[in-house]
Amino acid sequence: MSVVREKAEGFCDRELQGVYRAIRERRDVRSGFLPEALGDDVLLRLLGAAHNAPSVGLMQPWRFIVIRSLLVRSAVRDIFSQAQQVAADSYAGERAELYRGLKLEGILEAPQNLCIACDPVSERGHRLGRQSMPETAIYSAVCAVQNLWLAARAEGIGVGWVSILDPEALKVLLGIPAHMVLVAYLCLGYVDGFQPRPELERVGWEQRIPLADVIRLEHFDGDHLLTGTAK
């Protein structure tokens, strides 16, 4: 006699819609931050979302450093400015002009910043899953960033990821031990709105690729999946 196992149910329509809406309407926010600080309650909800991320071996290798001090944020802003100058010098012509017009961070405007660091060699998790792919410790911390980003969007809070900075200089500034990896530096705060399209697409820096172009079946060069209807 065979037993038919029942399929677990998904979420109700509105909850499901909330998940897809957060994914679709999340933006990398660099401007429009408001001066009102986040309360500890909502900040803890966001950090709780990050802390619920998957982690290899249940390692939870992350540390979250909340930065509210204007003094510390100003020092981070200096680290950004140096990297930004180097980057600016690498572009020429029209691209250089486009680059100069980009607003790339909200370190001082956002009343709180968040640094996510990862200990990739922690004994937590007993090396499970890391012997073949040690990089998954860091990937776990990246998943934490994405969880926080989506929860923030649902709360009406903007998040911007700043990667134009020297991670080693930032580690020294924040006292992060040498063996740890600085994974992400985020600007966080209430905003006056969310753009309907990614900023970089709006200003002509880059265009989004159609979904069908990045899907293949069975093999890297395999067939497309339903290219006729995929958007």
- Site residues for a second copy, window 80-139 (CB under 8 A)? 83, 86-87, 90-91, 95, 99, 102, 104, 117, 124-133, 135-136, 138-139
CB of 78 to a second copy, least distance (A): 14
User: What single letter denotes the amino acid at residue 173?
Assistant: L
Q: Does position 230 bind a second copy by CB under 8 A?
A: yes
CA–CA distance, 161 with 105 (Å, rounded to integer): 8
CB of 155 to a second copy, least distance (A): 5
Q: Could you tell me which of 176, 41, 47, 50 has the C-alpha nearest to residue 117? A: 176
CB of 159 to a second copy, least distance (A): 9
CB of 149 to a second copy, least distance (A): 7
Q: Could you tell me which of 152, 121, 139 has the C-alpha nearest to residue 42? A: 152
Q: Which of 1, 92, 178, 214 binds a second copy (CB under 8 A)?
A: 214
- Judge contact between 112 and 189, C-beta under 8 A: yes
Nearer to a second copy by Cβ, of 28 and 108: the residue is 28
Q: Does position 227 bind a second copy by CB under 8 A?
A: no
Q: Does position 43 bind a second copy by CB under 8 A?
A: yes
| Residues 170-209 interacting with a second copy (rule: CB under 8 A) | 174-177, 183-184, 190-194, 198, 200-201, 205-209
The residues pairing with 62 across neighbouring beta strands, listed in sequence order, are: 118
Q: Could you tell me which of 97, 87, 112 has the C-alpha nearest to residue 163? A: 87
DSSP track, 97-135: HHHHH-----TTTSSEEEEEEE-TT-STTTTTTTTT-TT
Q: Does position 60 bind a second copy by CB under 8 A?
A: yes
Query: For residue 128, how many other CB atoms are within 10 A of its CB?
Result: 12
Q: Which of 67, 76, 107, 110 binds a second copy (CB under 8 A)?
A: 67
Q: Does position 78 bind a second copy by CB under 8 A?
A: no
CB of 121 to a second copy, least distance (A): 15
